[in-house]
Amino acid sequence: MITSSVAETIDIGRKIGKLLKGGEIFAVTGDLGAGKTHFIKGIASGCCQEAATEKTTSPTFVLVNEYEGRLLIYHIDAYRLESEKEFENLGFDDMISEDSVVLIEWADKVAGCIADTNPIKIDLKHISETKRQLSLSNLPDYISEKLHDIK
């Protein structure tokens, strides 16, 4: 899936966020500046109206942000984590519930900790200054069945 602007990347995330039921874990990867936070802003705003796009920021220094709404969103940024043990100490296991969604930026840094959770995988790549390629895998049926409507 190709997006041509930040607004399109956010919009795809928002459409996916509206479909979420709870219990989902997203492993979001991509180079620095690839659009991971923008995509997550969209998911958060689609899932939690209180998490308006402008309120959703990367938790690079606090490591975890929470947004409340229809579902509780945990937004984790693993960029600064030195080890998988640090990730475990964030209370990841406690975040997983049928009433929450966990969104992990830089998920490749904690792949060993989340492998058993069967996460939805989103990878973003730069194509040009404004274009991004989003690769989505391991989507549940209730999202993949609507994918043609999301584009």
Q: Could you tell me the mean pLDDT of each successive run of 10 residues in the chain, 151 residues long?
A: 93 94 96 91 83 52 79 91 88 93 95 93 94 95 86 69
Distances (CA, A) of 100 to 44, 68, 76, 83: 11, 9, 13, 24
Residues 23 and 96: beta-carbon distance below 8 Å: yes
Give the C-alpha separation, 44 to 57, whole Å.
Answer: 10
Give the C-alpha separation, 102 to 27, whole Å.
Answer: 9
**What's the CATH code of the domain at 87?**
3.40.50.300
Residue 31's domain comprises: 2-150
How many separate domains does the chain show?
Answer: 1
Query: Residue 58's pLDDT is what?
Result: 57
Q: What is the pTM of this model?
A: 0.89
Give the C-alpha separation, 11 to 101, whole Å.
Answer: 18
Positive or negative, the CA dihedral 100, 106, 108, 111 is negative
Query: Residue 62's pLDDT is what?
Result: 58
- The DSSP secondary structure of 83-151, one letter per residue, reads SHHHHHHTTHHHH-STTEEEEEETGGGGHHHHGGG--EEEEEEESSSS-EEEEEES--HHHHTTHHHH-
Query: Residue 106's pLDDT is what?
Result: 94
What SS3 class is residue 16? helix
Nearest to 40 by CA among 142, 109, 20: 20
Residues 18 and 46: beta-carbon distance below 8 Å: yes
